[in-house]
Structure formats: structure tokens, C-alpha cells
């Protein structure tokens, strides 16, 4: 289904079957683990010191990028580079995945918008401002994207375990490096201002999931609740926003851009193939907030919010619909 928009860059197609797919002309031949680096000199030195063999190429009309194999005991991984810019990065990931790679670590360099950064320090991105065009062909339009939380935790935990100094931060990706004007940079810095100490989260991890600027200056949208069944059969309530709705008496569309794939609500929908969108009066706001504080797998979130669940017979009837 195509989500249409006045501006082509904001249009999105949910169809996952493109006309051209790398798996149609590439074969699986690479290790499952892959490192993509944008540090050419360091890679060339590492290849020379370790005598790494070339096991493939990322081909293009401009030039072919070699793919090297690095082995530690019985464990093997491949190391390569990608073309600069979002399109080049996406093409590299698509083709490497088609050739057998499943787990990726990407490292490179970047400029800084603030004065507290030093050359050579490691920064783990936890989110990114989407000021390029490629990601809008993979995800519905919204200003920022959050890093997968479990992946970020593993990276941070590994760096701490190895006692490697690092910082966390946010990236700003632009397709036009020569159009990063002073006003554009100033706007991004303003969004990155320090977190106000007098802010108090309305629920746990509120300002870890969303930047405080998004919470305080975001465009108001309707609040609603998504109800599903957990894997253990207990009811689940997801207090939600940042979505849009469209339709008439014949069909109804709900575009829920912030329903992330790593959430249990998304998993419930995928498993049960059933969910309900509830538009409740403002008087239920506090009840819905209570479900946020009681959202573990064994919690009955209907009971936590003071809601009444349908009986089993009605539930089965709804599922059949």
C-alpha cells in the first residue's frame, strides 16, 4: 500500500517486493559477520599487516570495492567499505545481506556540531536526525529514528567491559554537505541543547525513548490506546500517539509510525493478527498512564488501568472477524 503525500520524498510504500532485488543476481558466499568502515587508510594498513585475502567485491560503474576476510580461529568475518552518503550505504547493506552477511558493525568519522568533541573519540549513536532521502524509502516519514535499544546496550556494555572510552550522541545525516548552512547547523544544535533538569518524565524512560525537544515542541496528535493479547493470554494496553488516521465507512487506515518493531505490542499484533484501536475520553488519561507503569509480561494491564476485558467467547468472535 502506498501512503501518498504532496511531496514525493514523504511517500512510502509498504510493499516489500521491489522490481530489482540483489538476491536475484548475487549468491550467498560471505561470512555472516561484517564490518563496514569509512576509514580507508586504517583499513589498508590493517589489510597489509594481516595479509587479508579478497573474497569478493561490491561492484559499481565507478569502481569495485574489495571485500576482505578476517579469521580469528574458526570464527570468520568480512571487512569492506561503502560509498559515502545514504544511497551508497543502503546499496552496500542490501548487497552484503544478499551475499550472506547478517550482522553488521559500521564505523567511520564525522564532523561535530558542538565544541565538546575531540578528534578520535568514539561516539555511539543512539538516534539520528533524518535529513537525507534514502531512509524515507525504508521507513515512514518522521523526524528522527531511534537506535535499536538492545543493540545499543550490547555495544555500550562491550565497550565498558573492554574499558574503551566512549560517548553517546545523536547523528545528523545530510545528503548535501555543501548546503550545511550556519542557520541549519544552529537549528540542529538548538535541538541538542542540554536536558533541562527541572523536566520530570511522565513515565519511565520517556526521555530515553524521545528527545525532550520532541516531547515539548512536537505537533499535537490524538492520544489513543492499542489493545492486544500477550503471548500468555493476558491483555496488553499500549498508550500511543504520533499517528494518523484516514478513511470512511468503507475502509479505515491507521498509520502508526512510532509502533517500533522491537516492542511487545508489535510482536503481539504479528502473532495474533488482531488488535483494537481505542479512542477514549480524556477522563481515562490517568488510567492509561497506569498501564505504562505495569507493562511486564505477567501484568494484567486491563486490571492495572481499571478496564474491563471482553469475555472469552467475545474475544474468539472478534478474532474470527
Kindly list the structural domains of the chain, giving each domain's residue range(s) and its CATH number in brackets, ordered by start.
18-191 (3.40.50.1580), 219-320 (2.30.110.10)
- At residue 244 the predicted structure's pLDDT band, cuts being 50, 70 and 90, is confident
- Residues 6+ away with beta carbon under 8 Å from 16: none
> Which residue pairs from 247-252 have beta carbons closer than 8 angstroms and sit at least 24 positions apart in sequence?
none
Give the model's pLDDT for residue 118. 82
17/102 Cα distance (integer angstroms): 19
Number of Cα atoms under 13 Å in the Cβ half of residue 63: 6
- Residues 6+ away with beta carbon under 8 Å from 143: 129, 130, 214
174-187 per-position pLDDT tens digit? 888 888 888 777 66
288-315 per-position pLDDT tens digit? 888 888 888 889 999 999 988 766 555 5
Give the model's pLDDT for residue 217. 61
189-241 per-position pLDDT tens digit? 655 556 665 566 766 667 776 666 666 666 667 888 999 999 998 899 988 87
- Residues 6+ away with beta carbon under 8 Å from 86: 132, 133, 134, 135, 173, 175
* CB 226, CB 240: distance < 8 Å: yes
Q: Is the pLDDT of residue 243 over 70?
A: yes
Q: Please report, for residues 134, 191, 213, 295, the alpha-carbon distance to residue 141 in angstroms, rounded to integers and kept in the order given.
A: 11, 19, 18, 28
When the pLDDT of each residue in the chain is averaged and rounded to a whole number, the result is: 85
Amino acid at each position: 500500500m502506498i501512503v501518498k503525500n504532496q511531496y514525493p520524498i514523504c511517500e512510502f510504500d509498504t510493499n516489500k517486493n521491489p522490481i530489482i532485488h540483489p538476491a536475484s543476481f548475487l549468491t550467498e558466499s560471505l561470512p555472516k559477520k561484517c564490518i563496514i568502515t569509512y576509514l580507508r587508510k586504517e583499513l589498508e594498513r590493517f589489510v597489509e599487516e594481516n595479509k587479508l585475502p579478497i573474497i569478493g567485491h561490491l561492484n559499481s560503474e565507478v569502481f569495485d570495492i574489495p571485500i576482505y576476510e578476517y579469521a580469528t580461529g574458526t570464527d570468520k568475518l568480512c571487512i569492506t567499505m561503502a560509498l559515502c552518503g545514504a544511497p551508497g550505504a543502503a546499496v552496500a547493506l542490501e548487497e552484503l545481506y544478499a551475499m550472506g552477511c547478517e550482522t553488521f558493525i559500521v564505523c567511520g568519522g564525522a564532523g561535530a556540531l558542538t565544541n565538546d568533541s575531540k578528534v578520535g573519540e568514539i561516539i555511539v549513536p543512539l538516534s539520528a536526525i533524518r535529513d537525507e532521502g534514502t531512509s524515507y524509502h525504508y521507513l515512514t516519514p518522521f523526524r528522527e529514528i531511534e537506535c535499536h535499544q538492545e543493540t545499543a546496550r550490547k555495544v555500550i556494555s562491550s565497550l565498558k567491559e573492554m574499558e574503551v572510552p566512549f560517548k553517546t550522541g545523536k547523528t545528523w545525516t545530510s545528503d548535501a554537505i555543501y548546503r550545511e548552512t550556519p542557520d541549519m547547523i544552529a537549528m540542529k544544535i538548538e535541538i541538542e541543547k542540554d536536558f533541562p533538569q527541572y523536566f520530570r518524565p511522565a513515565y519511565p524512560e520517556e526521555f530515553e525513548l524521545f528527545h525532550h525537544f520532541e516531547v515539548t515542541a512536537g505537533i499535537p496528535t490524538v492520544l489513543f490506546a492499542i489493545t492486544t493479547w500477550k503471548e500468555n493470554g493476558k491483555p496488553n494496553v499500549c498508550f500511543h500517539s504520533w499517528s494518523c488516521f484516514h478513511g470512511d465507512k468503507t475502509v479505515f487506515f491507521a498509520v502508526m509510525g512510532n509502533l517500533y518493531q522491537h516492542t511487545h505490542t508489535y510482536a503481539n499484533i504479528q502473532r495474533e493478527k488482531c488488535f483494537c484501536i481505542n479512542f477514549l475520553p480524556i477522563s481515562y488519561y490517568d488510567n492509561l498512564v497506569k498501564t505504562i507503569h505495569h507493562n511486564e509480561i505477567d501484568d494484567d494491564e486491563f486490571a492495572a488501568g481499571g478496564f474491563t476485558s471482553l469475555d472469552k467467547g467475545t474475544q474468539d468472535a472478534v478474532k474470527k472477524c
